[in-house]
Amino acid sequence: MKELHHYQGVYAATVCPMDESGRDIDEASLIAHLRRVSQVAGIRGLLINGHAGENFALSREEKRRVVTLARQVCSPDTLLVAGLNAEDSYDVQAQADDAKAAGADAILLFPPYSWTLSTDDKTVLNHHRIANENAALPLMLYQSGVSSGGMAYPPALLQQLVCLPHVVAVKEGSWETATYEANLRLVHEVAPHVAVMASGDEHLMTCFALGTDGSLVSLAAVVPELVVALYNAMQAQNLAEAQRLHQFVYPLAKAIYGTWPGTHANARLKACLHLAGHLPHAMPRPPVPAVDDAQRQRLATALTFAQSFTAIP
């Protein structure tokens, strides 16, 4: 019998709106964004300060402020997962302490980008232990893409990580379905209390079909109703409906994530939200530039098509 997880469901990975220069957070737009997305039926929670929220470019104080605002504007029923990202383990520990004080329900620990070059098991395990040593919050792991070097935890290391205290879920972003399935099976075997959450926006339906306990995805910050409908269709084992909905998801996912360079996905997400009338500005924090006119047009076409879907009750 499949174990039911407290954290299962769809989480929208939200963006962090900036002013026209990209220098300062646009708090009014952030509040409106968080409120709008969190109130969509079927959204279990929000991932704030994730990659989509430009956690790599925010200061510690800014990250704390984002969590504080999210807790103020979102319903108590909305689970808030705060992303943590730092090379220094004590820096990330301080971020975890901040997130707890600001009202986060859980934390998601991203692997430091330096691990792309190389790392070892002891380093990875130390980082995770130190990060949550004080806060002792429910902890979600981030399984990175198969091409991201040491940020993609091999099976033996993943098995050790899911057995750490307070681990409740894995945001599975291998971005390759065979690895996704292998990791899903591994976690369910060695740590059935840990939820495996699909996060490969370009192949959500495939991951949902293989099995998932939920999903943390930035597409749900742009077209939340569509992502929820796709998730619900697969949970109901309605393959035909899921395939129909996937036709609306795929072009937008490719336009955002399947376009080089992948590091500009957050700028494309903001462009989509601006096109939809939800953000006054589409500026990411520099050095990432705003999208150009040609790319903006491609995003507009894919977004309009995605928004044209109708859910079948």
As a whole number of angstroms, the distance between CA 47 and CA 45 comes to: 7
pTM above 0.85, yes or no: yes
In terms of residues, how long is the chain?
313
Residues of the chain with pLDDT under 50: 1-2
pLDDT in tens, 213-223: 999 999 999 99
What pLDDT, on the 0 to 100 scale, is given for residue 1? Answer: 35
Buried residues in 48-73 as b, exposed as e (16+ CB within 10 A): bbbbbbbbbbbeeebbbbbbbbbbeb
> What is the helix (H) or strand (E) element at residue 169, kind and residue range?
strand 167-172
As a whole number of angstroms, the distance between CA 175 and CA 115 comes to: 18
What pLDDT, on the 0 to 100 scale, is given for residue 3? Answer: 55
What pLDDT, on the 0 to 100 scale, is given for residue 125? Answer: 98
Provide φ and ψ at 43, rounded to 5°: -85, 115
What pLDDT, on the 0 to 100 scale, is given for residue 100? Answer: 98
What pLDDT, on the 0 to 100 scale, is given for residue 81? Answer: 98
30, two tokens: 């952030």
CB 54 within 8 A of CB 80: no
Q: Find residue 47's DSSP bridge partners.
A: 13, 81
CB 282 within 8 A of CB 305: no
261, two tokens: 């360079």
